[in-house]
């Protein structure tokens, strides 16, 4: 035969799990329905609506609170193996504490989960995707040293209630966005903007909270429930702009500040925060007149306690940028995480742009991220827990740029699998358009379009939904596949 025929077809393993992902505040709505408590996104969007680009909020969002059957129908249309979604802490525990459980909230999630199970769709559940009960924020939120206890209490309630059916748990979604954007900066609730210590204190208590929840699961639930528990960290690719030693070091520092600060304590052999970052922050802190490092070290006991507390590494991956030691720097507030590492970043102008300023189509970035993590944290099992592309609200249902993005990303993922990285699954972000945080409804990530002007929040598949469905069914990426209709069906 000819060469083309001899070339082996690249195929995802049969047991590879394909799914989509969402998050409670972004889709549910029902912000005060049936006893739900206020969370930090309710509070921020209601008291400071101007911080959201279109002054919108998640009060109703995609109204999944009333549309969960339609959501599961969409999962069946796509032929999903799994669905990743998050629980709203204050829907289950209105004040954050476990003394009062809101049974109506539990019933909502019971219904959602049961509907998935009925159709053989595996639920993958995130305990925390950014919607902290406001009462806990009033007490300092992630900066309170008692936070790890509060989180463990909440985790025990959800393992108890849903663990008979849920076998894949994710404690936190994206510590970087929680700590850096929410406490160190002001680009996510609760917009604390403590640039000097917010990120670092949050990192410490978040990681301890994760470890508490993991240990609670392993000690008291795993034997009977037989599931797994991990964490999801945002890992975009930060490679050096040139191959100079300075740029290599700058890229390493950037990776330490972006994700290793959360991953190292859990996944590394040595434990604790990354070495170079710790040294820099300690040195600068003393120079700046602080009595000790702004990055609070773990005790040796804490280090040991945290190490190995994850059955898998969930990777949210969207894009990549180049890092430079000298070029493309901007002035940063001092002290801050950015001035601590003091590096520049560069994105080639010819990379395809999405509707989000930060999101470009970066070649090989999944492969680069996964092989890097695989070499660093040996014997770790991975899931891609998010990956996706945004378009403007008025765009057509024919979304060829999103299709190109998904095909490119999935090819890069196959490269990583072929290189020996143990990746078990892939969740596309997102099943449907939703509330895109500070960007409100101005950026759309859905395989399904949602009509936010219609009271029913009607969902309509984009062309990318049909392409994703075909990839899931065939386990192969056919670069030429074209759906012949945009009318959906259930196989
Ligand atoms: C994920 O975060 C979230 O988990 C999900 O909820 C969200 O809807 C989805 O991605 C799409 O955004 O360069 O300063 O303008 C992705 C995290 C978002 C982190 C954008 C970096 C860049 C802000 N990334 N952010 S900036």
Interval 170-208: pLDDT, tens:
999 999 999 999 999 999 999 999 999 999 999 999 999
Is the pLDDT assigned to residue 6 strictly greater than 90? no
Q: What are phi and psi of 197, to 5 degrees?
A: -120, -15
To test the ligand 1 pocket, which listed residue (386, 438, 442, 446) has its Cβ within 8 A of the most ligand atoms?
386
Q: 9 pLDDT band (50/70/90 cuts)?
A: confident
Q: Ligand 1 — pocket residues by CB below 6 A?
A: 23, 26, 173-174, 177, 234, 316, 318, 357-358, 386, 429, 436, 445
List pLDDT tens digits, range 385-416. 999 999 999 999 999 999 999 999 999 999 99
Average pLDDT on 225-240 reads: 98
Provide the pLDDT for residue 387.
Answer: 99
Say yes or no to pLDDT of 5 above 60: no
Please, are residues 483 and 470 in contact by the beta-carbon 8 Å criterion? yes
Residue 1: band (very low, low, confident or very high) from pLDDT cuts 50, 70, 90:
very low
Average pLDDT, the chain: 97
Atom of ligand 1 nearest to the CA of 388: 11
Is the pLDDT confidence value at 44 over 70?
Answer: yes
Q: What is the position in ligand 1's atom list of the atom closest to the CA of 439? A: 12
**Residues annotated as part of the active site:** 174, 386
Residues in the chain: 491
Prediction pTM value = 0.98
pLDDT of 4 over the 70 cut: no
Query: What is the interface pTM, i.e. ipTM, of the complex?
Result: 0.94
Residue nearest ligand 1's atom 22 by CA: 358
Q: How confident is the model at residue 2 (pLDDT cuts 50, 70, 90)?
A: very low
In degrees, rounded to 5, the angle at the alpha carbon of residue 382 between the alpha carbons of residues 379 and 384 is 165
Residue range 429-488, pLDDT digits in tens: 999 999 999 999 999 999 999 999 999 999 999 999 999 999 999 999 999 999 999 999
């Amino acid at each position: 035969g000819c060469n083309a025929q001899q070339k082996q077809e690249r195929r995802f393993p049969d047991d590879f799990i394909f799914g989509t992902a969402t998050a409670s505040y972004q889709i549910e709505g029902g912000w005060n329905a049936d006893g739900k408590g206020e969370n930090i996104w309710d509070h921020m969007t209601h008291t400071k609506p101007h911080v959201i680009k279109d002054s919108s909020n998640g009060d109703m969002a995609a109204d999944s609170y009333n549309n969960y059957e339609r959501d599961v129908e969409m999962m069946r249309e796509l032929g999903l193996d799994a669905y990743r979604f998050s629980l709203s802490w204050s829907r289950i525990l209105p004040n954050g504490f476990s003394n009062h459980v809101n049974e109506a909230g539990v019933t909502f999630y019971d219904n959602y989960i049961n509907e998935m199970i009925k159709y053989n769709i595996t639920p993958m559940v995130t305990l925390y995707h950014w919607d902290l009960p406001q009462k806990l924020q009033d007490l300092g939120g992630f900066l309170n040293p008692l936070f790890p206890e509060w989180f463990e209490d909440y985790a025990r309630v959800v393992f108890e209630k849903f663990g008979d059916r849920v076998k894949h748990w994710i404690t936190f979604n994206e510590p970087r966005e929680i700590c850096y954007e929410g406490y160190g900066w002001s680009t996510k609730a609760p917009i604390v903007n403590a640039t000097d210590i917010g990120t670092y204190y949050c990192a410490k208590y978040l990681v301890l909270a994760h470890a508490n929840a993991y240990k609670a699961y392993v000690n008291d639930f795993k034997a009977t429930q037989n599931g797994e528990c991990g964490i999801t960290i945002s890992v975009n690719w930060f490679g050096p702009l040139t191959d100079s030693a300075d740029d290599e070091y700058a890229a390493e520092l950037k990776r330490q500040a972006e994700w290793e600060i959360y991953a190292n304590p859990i996944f590394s052999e040595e434990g604790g925060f990354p070495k170079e970052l710790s040294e820099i922050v300690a040195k600068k802190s003393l120079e700046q007149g602080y009595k000790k490092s702004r990055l609070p070290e773990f005790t040796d006991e804490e280090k040991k306690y945290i190490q190995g507390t994850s059955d898998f590494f969930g990777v949210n991956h969207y894009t990549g940028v180049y890092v430079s030691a000298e070029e493309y720097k901007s002035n940063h507030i001092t002290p801050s995480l950015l001035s601590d590492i003091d590096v520049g970043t560069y994105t080639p102008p010819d990379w395809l742009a999405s509707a989000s300023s930060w999101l470009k189509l970066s070649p090989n970035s999944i492969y680069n991220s996964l092989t890097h993590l695989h070499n660093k944290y040996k014997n770790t099992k991975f899931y891609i827990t998010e990956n996706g592309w945004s378009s403007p609200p008025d765009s057509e249902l024919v979304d060829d740029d999103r299709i190109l993005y998904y095909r490119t990303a999935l090819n890069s993922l196959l490269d990583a699998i072929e290189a020996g990285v143990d990746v078990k699954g892939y969740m596309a972000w997102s099943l449907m358009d939703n509330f895109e945080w500070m960007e409100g409804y101005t950026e759309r990530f859905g395989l399904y379009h949602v009509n936010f002007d219609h009271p029913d929040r009607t969902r309509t598949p984009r062309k990318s939904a049909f392409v994703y469905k075909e990839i899931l069914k065939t386990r192969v990426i056919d670069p030429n596949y074209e759906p012949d209709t945009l009318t959906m069906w259930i196989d």
